[in-house]
Amino acid sequence: MRTQYVGLDISTEMFSQTAARLEGNPQALFLQGSVEKVPLPDNSVDAVICIGVIEYLPQNVTALAEIHRILKKPGLAIVSFPSLRFPMLFVRAILRPILGPVLRTVIPGCAARLRVWN
């Protein structure tokens, strides 16, 4: 049996781009939705990888409960979020407000990315 991969993103732009890239791949399915209400049944996946998403949520309990709900038991969850020692936190908090407007002027495509992830 071939491994099946399911991806999920709440953003219409990210969903469209990724779904287009994966079109025609029989092993991959990309859905639009929230990690706080995952459109998958209970105990349906072997592993979840959730990288760089939790920190955008107002609270993380619902998302973590959803990840637990869809995981087979035992299952594997890899969830990342920045710690205070993570250098990108400094970049995001201090440098982005300064660099953001400059980058938006110089690189037009950058504006959309900064908006989606803010």
Q: Which residues bind ligand SAM (CB under 6 A)?
A: 8-11, 14, 34-36, 51-53, 56-57, 116-117
The least distance separating ligand SAM from the CB of residue 49, rounded to whole angstroms, comes to 8
Q: Specify the residue, 18 or 74, whose C-beta has the smaller distance to ligand SAM.
A: 18
Residue in 116, 85, 84 with CA at minimum distance from that of residue 100: 116
**Residue 81's CB: how many other CB atoms inside 10 A?**
14
Q: Specify the residue, 10 or 74, whose C-beta has the smaller distance to ligand SAM.
A: 10
Q: Specify the residue, 11 or 104, whose C-beta has the smaller distance to ligand SAM.
A: 11
Q: Quick one: DSSP state of residue 60?
A: S
DSSP secondary structure string for all residues of 20-33: HHHTT-TTEEEEE-
